[in-house]
């Protein structure tokens, strides 16, 4: 079938249900598409050439890409790190198992910043993924491979992980939808830990309906994850009917200096979209928002320091040649980890060290709780909060490589919802006239309101029709 790769997930499932195409035909079509695009994009670390049926001999053949820090049985999971370069897991992450049981096919593992630490996918130990809209620019990070794969039509949907914005930021840079659900809504079992109190698996797609379909499969309580929510999941694709006159939206007041001129202008247009459609809007100020960035890097780095202590060259992963156990630890970690991972381990170890624990880590935890409380208070009055996803459009490869502070600032708007565990989605808005690059904005809702969030995003997509822009472009 010609240009099958341009069809979205719902359309592909309908074709399969009507037996208009076989799982094998569908899978091979997307393999060919990946072969064509990967010469330029570099979204995939590992590609799965064969269509593998699940244990019940059942398969739909619809391909899904999985970020390479999510465990996949029998398929390498490298975390884009030399430390795990040849690691083949003996089991599946819960989300992967649920997708396989539903007939999805894991077509490959996507590139990322090493151990999900970065905002550009330049920190991968293997190669840099390129933004499909402009090959000289980054796709965002750390889930840059997944967002680029969806944007370039290599796959209809993909999984990523979001700690401080690693789904929403690359979704904005690549012009696709990307959701981070409520913390605990999706099991983290099988997600390689970076910062356990923040990590969350998320979904990329070209429209909200496809995200809802995947979310219905992967969300829900998991006995293997004590942090997964006990609350029942919803039929996310059964969208609420949005009545603008009864819908209150808080608009985040942002500092003038925090946005590029192009994003600032687009933000006004984004707000105007909701005004023209009759929504009730009111500007709000979150006083502690600006501290989110500092709080996040203390907490996330501290948790990374603890989580990555297991990579010592003894139990699994890269093992350096050494004459003593001390040298084995030092050389294995020194050779196995990249600069950004080392930087965060050092920052986290310092923050947790004797004499600094109370001054840095505990103070950061206190401010985190206050930020979450401020955001929660907004939802006492409003149904949604809208705000920018990124301060600027996708930057050039290498532009921020030597300036980690500038790189960290890419997450200025995505971090506070993560600190509070709130669900949030990036919605692509327009192609900037100056940059000719996608511009996206965030919609945030209260805890476990993913169906509400996707309902508004679907209302929005029906008006904006950004998916058509992607299809025409690629």
| Mean predicted confidence (pLDDT) in 449-464 | 98
* Residues above pLDDT 70, as percent of the chain: 99
Gap between the Cα atoms of 283 and 254, Å rounded: 10
Collapsed DSSP state (helix, strand, coil) of residue 107: strand
Q: Considering the chain, what is the average pLDDT of its residues?
A: 96
pLDDT at site 60: 85
Specify the residue for token string 């690629």: 474
pLDDT tens-place string over residues 388-420? 999 999 999 999 988 999 999 999 999 999 999
Total Cβ atoms within 10 A of residue 348: 25
Residues 187 and 305 placed together within one structural domain of the fold: no
pLDDT at site 290: 95
Residues 259 and 236 placed together within one structural domain of the fold: no
* Residues above pLDDT 90, as percent of the chain: 91
Q: How confident is the model at residue 6 (pLDDT cuts 50, 70, 90)?
A: very high
- The CATH number for 79's domain is 3.90.1300.10
Q: How confident is the model at residue 317 (pLDDT cuts 50, 70, 90)?
A: confident
**Is the model's pLDDT at 49 over the cut of 70?**
yes
Residues 167 and 188 placed together within one structural domain of the fold: yes
**Is the model's pLDDT at 54 over the cut of 90?**
no
429: domain range? 4-242+400-473
> For residue 313, is it within any domain?
yes
Residue 411 and residue 119 in contact, taking contact as beta carbons nearer than 8 Å: yes
Residues 120 and 40 placed together within one structural domain of the fold: yes
| Mean predicted confidence (pLDDT) in 462-468 | 97
Cis peptide before 142 (omega within 30 of 0): yes
pLDDT at site 2: 62
68 compared with 319, residue with greater pLDDT: 68
| Mean predicted confidence (pLDDT) in 293-313 | 96
User: Which residues are designated catalytic?
Assistant: 67, 142, 166
> For residue 373, is it within any domain?
yes
Residues 69 and 142 placed together within one structural domain of the fold: yes
Residue 185 and residue 292 in contact, taking contact as beta carbons nearer than 8 Å: no
pLDDT at site 1: 59
**Is the model's pLDDT at 53 over the cut of 80?**
no
pLDDT at site 55: 72
| Mean predicted confidence (pLDDT) in 47-69 | 87
> For residue 384, is it within any domain?
no
Residues 18 and 105 placed together within one structural domain of the fold: yes
> For residue 395, is it within any domain?
no
| Mean predicted confidence (pLDDT) in 239-250 | 97
> For residue 71, is it within any domain?
yes
**Is the model's pLDDT at 77 over the cut of 70?**
yes
> For residue 427, is it within any domain?
yes
8 compared with 61, residue with greater pLDDT: 8
Q: Which residues fall within 8 angstroms of residue 315, CB to CB, at 6 or more apart?
A: none
pLDDT at site 61: 87
Gap between the Cα atoms of 370 and 351, Å rounded: 20
> For residue 390, is it within any domain?
no
pLDDT tens-place string over residues 344-388? 999 999 999 988 999 999 999 999 999 999 999 999 999 999 999
Please state which of the ranges 6-10, 257-261, 426-430, 465-469 shows the lowest mean pLDDT: 257-261
Residues 358 and 434 placed together within one structural domain of the fold: no
Give the total number of structural domains in the chain.
Answer: 3
Q: Which residues fall within 8 angstroms of residue 445, CB to CB, at 6 or more apart?
A: 379, 383, 384, 385, 422, 423, 424, 452, 453, 456
Q: How confident is the model at residue 253 (pLDDT cuts 50, 70, 90)?
A: very high
Residue 304 and residue 345 in contact, taking contact as beta carbons nearer than 8 Å: yes
């Amino acid at each position: 079938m010609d240009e099958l790769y341009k069809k979205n997930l719902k359309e592909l499932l309908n074709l399969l249900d009507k037996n208009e195409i076989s799982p094998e035909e569908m899978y091979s079509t997307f393999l060919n598409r990946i072969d064509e695009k990967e010469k330029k994009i570099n979204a995939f670390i590992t590609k799965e050439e064969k269509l593998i049926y699940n244990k019940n001999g059942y398969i739909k053949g619809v391909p899904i890409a999985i970020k390479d820090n999510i465990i996949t049985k029998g398929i390498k999971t490298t975390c884009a790190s030399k430390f795990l370069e040849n690691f083949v897991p003996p089991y599946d992450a819960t989300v992967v198992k649920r997708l396989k049981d539903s007939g999805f096919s894991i077509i490959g593992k996507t590139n990322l910043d090493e151990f999900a630490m970065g905002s550009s996918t330049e920190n991968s130990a293997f190669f840099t993924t390129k933004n499909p809209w402009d090959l000289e620019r980054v796709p965002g990070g750390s889930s840059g491979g997944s967002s680029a794969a969806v944007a370039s039509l290599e796959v209809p949907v993909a999984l990523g992980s979001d700690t401080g914005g690693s789904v929403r930021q690359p979704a904005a840079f690549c012009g696709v939808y990307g959701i981070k659900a409520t913390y605990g809504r999706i099991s983290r079992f099988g997600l390689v830990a970076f910062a356990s109190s923040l990590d969350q698996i998320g979904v990329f797609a070209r429209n909200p309906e496809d995200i809802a379909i995947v979310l219905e499969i992967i969300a829900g309580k998991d006995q293997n994850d004590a942090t997964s929510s006990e609350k029942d999941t919803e039929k996310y694709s059964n969208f609420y009917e949005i009545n603008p006159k009864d819908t209150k939206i808080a608009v985040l007041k942002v500092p003038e200096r925090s946005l590029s001129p192009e994003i600032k202008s687009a933000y006004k247009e984004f707000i105007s979209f909701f005004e023209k459609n009759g929504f009730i809007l009111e500007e709000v100020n979150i006083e502690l928002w600006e501290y989110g960035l500092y709080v996040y890097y203390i907490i996330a780095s501290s948790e990374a320091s603890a989580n990555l202590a297991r990579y010592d060259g003894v139990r699994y992963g890269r093992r350096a040649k050494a004459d003593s156990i001390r040298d084995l630890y030092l050389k294995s970690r020194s050779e196995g980890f990249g600069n950004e991972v080392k930087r965060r381990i050092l920052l986290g170890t310092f923050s947790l060290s004797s004499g600094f624990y109370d001054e840095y880590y505990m103070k950061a935890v206190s401010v985190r709780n206050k930020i979450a409380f401020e955001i929660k208070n907004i939802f006492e009055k409003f149904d949604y909060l809208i705000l920018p996803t990124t301060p600027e459009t996708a930057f050039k490869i290498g532009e921020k490589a030597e300036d980690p502070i500038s790189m960290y600032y890419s997450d200025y708007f995505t971090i506070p919802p993560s600190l509070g565990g709130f669900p949030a989605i990036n919605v692509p808005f327009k192609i900037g006239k100056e940059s000719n690059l996608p511009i996206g904005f965030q919609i945030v809702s209260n805890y476990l309101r993913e169906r509400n969030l996707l309902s508004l995003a679907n209302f929005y997509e029906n008006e904006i029709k950004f998916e058509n822009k992607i299809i025409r472009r690629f």
